[in-house]
Amino acid sequence: MTSSTDKGILLQMQDYSIHDGYGVRTTIFLAGCPLRCKWCANPESHTTNSKLIYYKHKCKDCGKCAAVCPKSLSPTTMERPNPSCDACGLCVNACPNKALDIACTQYSAGDIVSRIKRDAIFFRFTGGGVTFSGGEPFGQKDFLRTLAHKFFSMGIGMWIETCGYFNFSEVKDIIEMLDHVFMDIKHMDSNIHEEYTGVGNELILQNAVKIYEMNIPITIRIPSIPGLNLTEENIKNTAIFMRKHMPKAEIELLPYHELGKAKYIALGREDSFTTFTVPTKEALNKAYEIFAEHGIKIGEYS
């Protein structure tokens, strides 16, 4: 399944989101991501392909899913992911216990705009708007551009959450319509960055500076993991980089969590799940102190 100008692949739309920017927001999660972070909590976002999600703990093994499946497949017996399953969704509708779901669904721009119109009153009264997230929203740049133009013409503010790994020249016109950018800098050492995400950090750092130079407010985020990037050396290097290249940008530390483990199990990818250490509040506060010492303001959006 692929996206186009008028149709795109979504993971979900989340109404009344208060952790993705100012005010009440509707967060649009676009599927697909060029990174493979070992701590990723959303493995269903890695591709835009529709995929069956099976919550084993909800399953009563009633057999209703296999009864409606054109291929007589049952999540209780088949290996997942299974190339024979085309995620048609018939089993999802037949399951009485909500043990099945489909990740990555195609939506039209018109369908999304209609839904956003219903939320517009909350945006006006709270200073909120739309936040694009993912996955990596710039991965579906043509569809994102269509949505951005429609929301811009409607006077709806737009923020975005991005990993920063994209061709800047191809999406600059989209960025110009945004009110705020959240961008990850996962590690300042490019070799370590590549080891844990699959790509180096050079393009990400370049894009962060280019966005800052556009005078668009930007918040740098670090998915914080003790012993990996929540170290004094990496925090200092990040603070020095920000002070030199984007002194008015803000910083936000996102503590690592293991909430995504259930998704790996539901996708049949439990072997891909990597466990890291959850940071303490004291470790996060110490890191924030280092940023403050370098004159970097702390973000206030979550």
* DSSP letters spanning 10-23: EEEEEEEE-SSSSS
Name the domain count of the chain: 2
**Residue that is written with structure tokens 């303001």 in the block:** 297
Q: What is the mean pLDDT of residues 255-273?
A: 90
- Is 1 part of a structural domain of the chain? no
Tell me, yes or no, whether 121 and 55 share the same domain.
no
Q: What is the mean pLDDT of residues 143-165?
A: 97
Tell me, yes or no, whether 172 and 235 share the same domain.
yes
Banded model confidence at residue 1, pLDDT cuts 50, 70, 90: very low
Q: What residues have CB less than 8 Å from 119, skipping those under 6 apart?
A: 15, 24, 26
Choose the most confident range, by mean pLDDT, from 44-53, 56-65, 187-196, 259-268.
187-196
CA atoms of 283 and 39, how far apart (whole Å)? 18
pLDDT at position 111 over 90: yes
More confident residue, 127 or 222: 222
Tell me, yes or no, whether 62 and 175 share the same domain.
no
Of 36, 55, 62, 171, the residue nearest 103 (C-alpha)? 55
The pLDDT > 70 percentage for the chain reads: 97
Q: What is the mean pLDDT of residues 19-29?
A: 90
Cα distances (angstroms) measured from residue 5 to each of 24, 139, 142, 150, 197: 27, 12, 5, 12, 28
Tell me, yes or no, whether 221 and 92 share the same domain.
no
Range from 16-20, 48-52, 254-258 carrying the lowest mean pLDDT: 16-20
- Is 2 part of a structural domain of the chain? no
More confident residue, 78 or 246: 246
The total of other beta-carbon atoms located within 10 Å of residue 125's CB is: 10
Q: What is the mean pLDDT of residues 111-120?
A: 93
- Is 159 part of a structural domain of the chain? yes
pLDDT at position 255 over 70: yes
How confident is the model over 169-215, as pLDDT tens digits? 999 999 999 999 999 999 999 999 999 999 999 999 999 999 999 99
Q: What is the pLDDT of residue 73?
A: 85
Tell me, yes or no, whether 290 and 170 share the same domain.
yes
Cβ proximity of 23 and 129 under 8 Å: yes
Q: What is the pLDDT of residue 79?
A: 67
Name the residue range of residue 19's domain. Answer: 7-48+106-298
Residue 134: give its domain's CATH number. Answer: 3.20.20.70
Range from 66-80, 179-193, 227-241 carrying the lowest mean pLDDT: 66-80
Q: What is the pLDDT of residue 16?
A: 85
Range from 40-44, 69-73, 136-140 carrying the lowest mean pLDDT: 69-73
The total of other beta-carbon atoms located within 10 Å of residue 299's CB is: 18
**Residue that is written with structure tokens 């093994």 in the block:** 61
Tell me, yes or no, whether 115 and 260 share the same domain.
yes
Tell me, yes or no, whether 190 and 257 share the same domain.
yes
Tell me, yes or no, whether 39 and 90 share the same domain.
no
Tell me, yes or no, whether 236 and 128 share the same domain.
yes
Q: Write down the mean pLDDT value for the chain.
A: 93
Q: What is the mean pLDDT of residues 103-117?
A: 95
Q: What is the pLDDT of residue 302?
A: 53
